[in-house]
Amino acid sequence: MVNQKTVVVVGRDIAAVHLMEQKLRSSHHIVTFSRIQQAIDFIYTNVPNLVIVEWQQDDSVTADALTTFKAEPLFSHLPFLAVLDEPGLPLNWEVLPVEDYIRKTDLDAEITNRVELCLIRSERLTEINPLTRLPGNISINRHIQERLERGRDFDLAYADLDQFKPFNDKYGFSRGDEVLRITGRLILSIVKSRQPQGSYVGHIGGDDFLFIMDVGLLTAAAEEVIAAFDQIIPTFYDPEDRGQGFIESVDRQGQILAFPLMTISIGGVTNCRSRGLTHYGELTETVSQMKRYAKSIPGSCFRSDKRSPVVVGASSLPNSNPSLP
């Protein structure tokens, strides 16, 4: 079924997991794991809509894993629903950072309603891209501003697909959406594999993505993204188009032209305290310039800002809205 929400179910009680799967699978894509450690890689690379996790009072491993997830800005919006075994178990919400809970005795009657409530509540409270499940533009700008205010150094990258519009026009929105989903997963997987903690990936909108890493990690990650993208993207084209290395599509003026296969352009910038930046718009303008420079070079390309840091005051902000386009 198209547009099914992904729900991860984690539990060692086979009967309870089977019951939840039976109740939910008609309207959701259900992925099951017996332990939270087994689910971590899937959650990092796929970002589900909801995680249902079985929890017992002495299960410190699960509690620690949930705390780690919630400390990550990328997963702060991800709702967790705890399934509790003991009927009278006192709950410490600081130890168990979940959004809701349900008793095992209520699963048969209430799990469907509780899941729907968690999903609706999450959509109301968070701003994420519905296609990739990554934080959207508002969340991205807020996150960059928070990093600037904390005075921390970090690397920022802006990725943009080249020749995506002609591809979308020829093959349709469904195939275009799949390209965007795969690109988001690819960037997320590579960034998180190189920096599991403290990194950040967002989907600005359309075919634009952003990621943040510790200083010194960006170049290798960007180069890996480019290599993986260039390897996988030809598979989205029909064999004839893939073989000839281009497609024929309509440009913005309505003319039929030949367009090469999609590539990816990435611009990068290092924010350091010596730059004196205080507003996210100053930094996003700089990284946007580097992205435009990368796009001016044929093929997939990464270019980073090598200029000496210059103190920039708020008065030099661009006249247009400084948020990412």
Mean pLDDT within 89-112: 83
pLDDT confidence of residue 52: 96
Residues 214 and 260 placed together within one structural domain of the fold:
yes
Residues 111 and 142 placed together within one structural domain of the fold:
no
d(CA 77, CA 49): 9
What H or E segment, with its residue span, contains residue 246?
strand 246-250
Closest-CA residue to 160 (of 262, 17, 56)? 262
Residues 54 and 168 placed together within one structural domain of the fold:
no
Give the pLDDT band of residue 310 (cuts 50, 70, 90).
very low
Residues 121 and 141 placed together within one structural domain of the fold:
no
pLDDT value at 33 more than 70:
yes
Give the best-scoring range by mean pLDDT among 124-138, 195-209, 295-309. 195-209
What H or E segment, with its residue span, contains residue 263?
strand 263-271
206: left (phi > 0), else alpha (psi -120 to 50), else beta?
Answer: left
Q: Which of 125, 151, 168 is the last residue of a domain?
A: 125
Count: domains in the chain: 2
User: Do strands 50-55 and 246-250 pair parallel, antiparallel, or not at all (unpaired)?
Assistant: unpaired
Residues 92 and 176 placed together within one structural domain of the fold:
no
pLDDT confidence of residue 154: 92
Lowest average pLDDT, out of 92-96, 136-140, 165-169, goes to: 92-96
pLDDT confidence of residue 315: 32
Mean pLDDT within 187-214: 93
Residue 323 lies in a domain: no
Q: Which of 125, 152, 171 is the last residue of a domain?
A: 125
pLDDT confidence of residue 287: 92
Lowest average pLDDT, out of 26-40, 114-128, 228-242, goes to: 114-128
- Is 0.75 topped by the overall pTM? no
Q: Which residue has the higher pLDDT, 322 or 126?
A: 126
pLDDT confidence of residue 306: 66
- The CATH number covering residue 252 comes to 3.30.70.270
DSSP E strands in 104-231: the ranges are 154-162, 200-205, 208-213
User: Do strands 301-304 and 263-271 pair parallel, antiparallel, or not at all (unpaired)?
Assistant: parallel
pLDDT confidence of residue 43: 87
pLDDT confidence of residue 311: 39
Residues 260 and 238 placed together within one structural domain of the fold:
yes
Give the pLDDT band of residue 25 (cuts 50, 70, 90).
very high
d(CA 177, CA 164): 11
pLDDT confidence of residue 312: 36
Contact indicator for 243, 293 with CB cutoff of 8 Å: no
pLDDT in tens, 115-165: 999 888 877 666 778 888 898 888 888 889 988 888 888 999 999 999 999
Contact indicator for 232, 255 with CB cutoff of 8 Å: no
pLDDT confidence of residue 125: 64
d(CA 239, CA 89): 59
pLDDT confidence of residue 26: 92
Contact indicator for 96, 57 with CB cutoff of 8 Å: no
pLDDT in tens, 62-85: 888 888 887 776 677 788 999 988
pLDDT confidence of residue 90: 65
Q: What are phi and psi of 219, to 5 degrees?
A: -60, -50
pLDDT confidence of residue 228: 97
Q: What is the pLDDT of the chain when averaged over all its residues? A: 86
Residues 143 and 100 placed together within one structural domain of the fold:
no
Q: Which of 66, 96, 125 is the last residue of a domain?
A: 125
Residues 243 and 306 placed together within one structural domain of the fold:
yes
- Return the percentage of the chain with pLDDT > 90, whole number: 54
Contact indicator for 85, 54 with CB cutoff of 8 Å: yes
Give the pLDDT band of residue 96 (cuts 50, 70, 90).
confident
Q: Which domain holds residue 92?
A: 5-125
pLDDT value at 206 more than 60:
yes
Mean pLDDT within 263-286: 84
Laid out side by side, the sheet with 301-304 consists of: 200-205, 208-213, 154-162, 263-271, 301-304
Q: Which residue has the higher pLDDT, 56 or 303?
A: 303
- The token duo for 318 is 């661009």
pLDDT confidence of residue 70: 78
Residues 153 and 247 placed together within one structural domain of the fold:
yes
Give the pLDDT band of residue 15 (cuts 50, 70, 90).
very high
